[in-house]
Amino acid sequence: MIKDITIGQYVPGDSFIHKLDPRVKILISIVYIAALFIVNNFEGYIFIIAFTGLSIAISKVPVRYIYKGLKPIFVLLLFTALINIFMTSGDVILFRWKFLRIYREGLVLAAFMVLRLSFLIVGTSLLTLTTSPIELTDGIEKLLNPLKKIGVPAHELAMMMTIALRFIPTLMDETDKIMKAQMARGADFESGNIFRRAKNLIPLLVPLFISSFRRADELAMAMEARCYRGGEGRTRMKQLKLTGRDVTATFATMVFVALCVAGRFWWKAV
């Protein structure tokens, strides 16, 4: 399950989406997330599904990576659905047993929340799967550059965010190795009640924290040995430039958002 987390991983490729400017991909991802909350009916998710499916097909990222990214949140999706089903009241009751009541409004809200969370994970995963950490850093820094005028350290923020994303799969792999080593020594992480399981995690968390601090120290020493002094005066081998494909992707995204907004009011009116 730990190895199924895909956020932070990068799949090298030569597709149309891989070649997009990282700034464009980041902005498209933000707009995509906003579109998920614009849609307020099931008919509107036709555009979401079409846009997401087309993006996955164009990116040529194996579907198994997308599925792996959803597997770790199945429990969260189930918990979210149950909370909305049993905690949302309405006018049309579908099921009643003692103090438990299920309303049609609860089922609709649960379905919306599950769909939104699922597409949210798929969209953010597709961004990191098709963008290398270096490109992601450059894109975030370029987008934050206007904030330098008010004292925001754009380069440092971009570097921290990218390092954090980059080390997610590394820490997950380290966690898996430590867990297997502890299980070989007799540790049990699956049996017992929730308090016992939490107590059994101590042999896992302590070496993981130590390993994380060691990796952070090694990274700091490596950056210092290479005379890293921040982003002031630094140059790049590859300069970010907008091309025709970026304009095409931006136009397609604008059409997608326009359809989502129109669908929100059209199907509501119908």
For each of the chain's 270 residues, which pLDDT tens digit applies?
A: 445 555 667 778 888 888 888 889 999 999 999 988 888 887 888 888 899 999 988 988 888 878 777 777 777 788 888 887 777 776 767 767 776 777 777 788 888 888 888 888 888 888 888 888 778 878 887 888 887 778 777 777 877 877 777 777 777 778 778 777 777 777 666 666 666 766 777 777 788 888 888 888 888 888 888 777 766 666 666 777 888 888 999 999 999 988 888 887 776 543
**Nearest one of 39, 89, 5 to 256, comparing CA atoms:** 39
Start-to-end Cα distance in the chain: 44
What pLDDT shows up at residue 254?
92
What pLDDT shows up at residue 270?
38
Question: Per residue in 199-227, is it b (16+ CB within 10 Å) or e — as a string?
Answer: ebeebbeeebeebeeeeeeeeeeeeeeee
Residue with tokens 């961004």: 127
Q: Where are the alpha helices (DSSP H) in 39-186?
A: 45-59, 63-70, 74-87, 104-129, 133-144, 154-184
Q: What residues does each domain of the chain span? A: 2-167+239-269
> CA-CA distance, 91 to 112, in Å (whole number)?
18
What pLDDT shows up at residue 60?
87
Residue 227 φ/ψ, nearest 5 degrees? 60, 40
Is the Cβ–Cβ distance between 81 and 116 less than 8 Å? no
What pLDDT shows up at residue 171?
78
What pLDDT shows up at residue 237?
67
- Alpha-carbon Rg of the chain, whole angstroms? 22
> CA-CA distance, 240 to 214, in Å (whole number)?
34
Decide: helix, strand or coil at residue 162: helix
What pLDDT shows up at residue 140?
82
**Nearest one of 72, 69, 71 to 6, comparing CA atoms:** 69
